[in-house]
Chain A
Amino acid sequence: MENTKVVAEPKKRSFAKHHREDMIGKIYTNLCVLLLIVVIVSIVYFVASKGLSTFFKDGVSPIEFLFGTHWSPDGSPASFGALPFIGGSFVVSMLAALIAGPLSICAALFMTEIVPGKGKRILQPVIELLSGIPSVVYGFIGLTVLVPFISALTGGNSLGYGVGAGALVLSVMILPTITSIAADALASLPRGMREASYALGATRWQTIYRVVLPTLAPSLWTGVILGIARAFGEALAVQMVIGNAPFLPTSLLTSASTLTSVITLNMTNTSTGSVQNNVLWSMALMLLFMTFVFIIIVRLLQRRNKL
């Protein structure tokens, strides 16, 4: 009813009103978007200016930071080799993806290929709940269940803290990420493709293996990369179970550190402006940098997907 009133209004006034309304809408939405850009630019700017001061102000060599394996920020002479943390982050997140990747893709196949409909109705909420459990809760369970379990498995010869525990906790955490992307990709596949394969006499597994998975490979990899990205940036759950010793991991049972765990443990214990503090910002910058790398990889994969 109201709508007809608007039309009935004199043309001129309605035009002015339109104009005013549209201006409000445009300004409001543009400001919101502008804010997004301001936020991201300032994050990059502030973290980078702090992170780079380690090298420019404190004179730490970037080569040492990136490739040095010796971490002793309070030692004399102090050394700032962050490779154990960079390596630790990579190893843990790759291992997590190695465990979660196949599991997630199977879960997605279960939802779309094996038991379409019903499978999705069961697994979809499960995946959503898994992604909803807060990371500290994962860390706490890792600490109280997984770590003693691993320790018992080795007959008490290890503490249970370490890369293995970290990777297992992370793998459950990134399972939802990979599964939902894989399931979306599988659902988007034209039905005709599968039917053509079945018509040729292929079994379901042959269809999945020869047709479905190769066609969707870029999308599945996108899921895996985003999973790795999430694992790479996860802080507290990993910190609680990994053991936090500053060494490159040599086995699944050795205690190691990640970029995030070192930052959480030491950020508040060091004083702002000191080199011990600045070097932690360099690690934060490294995390930012890796975020960009992961996104570039994902973009490249998506481009391949279109072709």
Chain B
Amino acid sequence: MKSKKTLFGALTLSAMLALTACGNNGSTTASGSTEPAATGTTTPAATEQPADAKVSGEILAVGSTALQPLVDQVGQKFMGDNGDVTVQVQGGGSGTGLTQVSEGAANIGNSDVFAEEKLDADKAKELVDHQVAVVAMASVVNKDTGVTNLTKQQLVDIFKGKITNWKDVGGADQKITIVNRPSSSGTRATFEKFALGEKVENVAGSIEQDSSGTVKQIVADTKGAIGYLAFSYLDDTVTALSYDGVEPTEANVQDGKYPIWAYEHMYTKGEPDGATKAFLDYFMSEEVQQADVTELGYIPVSSMKVKRDAEGKVIQ
């Protein structure tokens, strides 16, 4: 008998120790975590969701880390309105999101790029695209470069390493340092497609960073640095460049004058139904588009005067 007790004791001892530590933490975190609940209860008052749209179920949205905060925020509001629905949002990257929705492991796949660019054509065909926001980006340079505008050709030459000094494009005599994104990044794909018009390879001496915050900091701190950022990151620590003479402003994007932008996508496999459809409809409502979407630095799809297809061709 004694032996069994000792064995049991040994097995549970370490677990117990950790459990007590964890229990303490659980209670402390509980006391502090009233915040999300509080925001959850304030939203129903502000929203005017039709009462008849009673839906229930679980929605799993996986994918793009860039889009995740927006979906998360909208999801929480949606859950506040519809008590029977759970919206789970996971990051993991656009590739993961598209794969999972295509395999049926997730209800929604969040992506920075068109499914056609990441999946096989026949797999991409099964997915239905819901374009929920527009993200625009600008090339940014260190403030000391003395450049405020670059033409498409100049940008291409810089990112291909043909131009290596700012004085060649009318700036100060400083070496150009490129801050790029990983080759699989959606931001990079957008920038290459619409700003450069072609895929470019990394230039020796350039660096790759995935984080917009880091890119901004490096460009702000490093002489002669150039990178690209979504509009929501632009501030006066860096110079946002005009592109072919067009300033990077929301109005210019909406008019179709400024071309460096892309859709944020939420893909479903086949047409959505039930809770997923209700959620996506809610996402497209003006209430979300004009509030949460703009709050996070995206441009509402409804305010766009131009449209694009998967090849990037503009359809008026």
Contact = CB atoms under 8 A, between A and B. Distances in A.
A245 B204 contact: yes
B7 to A, nearest CB: 10
A207 B203 CA distance: 52
Range for the number of chain B residues in contact with chain A: 35 or more
B202 A245 contact: yes
Contacts of A227: none
Interface string B171-189: 0000101001011111001
Nearest to A250: B204
A78 to B, nearest CB: 10
A269 B208 contact: no
Contact of B184 (A2, A161, A269): A269
A276 interface: yes
A262 B119 CA distance: 20
A134 interface: no
A273 B122 CA distance: 13
A254 B96 CA distance: 31
B207 A266 contact: no
B74 interface: no
A254 B202 CA distance: 13
Contacts of A243: 207-208
A138 interface: no
Nearest to A256: B207
A159 interface: yes
B206 interface: yes
Contacts of B183: 71-74, 246, 266
Contacts of B91: 268
Interface in B56-101: 65, 91-96, 98-99
A30 interface: no
Given A268-B92, A270-B118, A272-B95, A247 B207 contact: no
A271 B182 contact: no
Question: 7 closest A-B pairs (Cβ-Cβ)?
Answer: A268-B93, A269-B184, A244-B208, A243-B207, A255-B207, A271-B95, A270-B95
Interface of B: 1-2, 65, 91-96, 98-99, 102-103, 118-120, 175, 177, 180, 182-186, 189, 199, 201-202, 204-210, 218, 221-223, 225
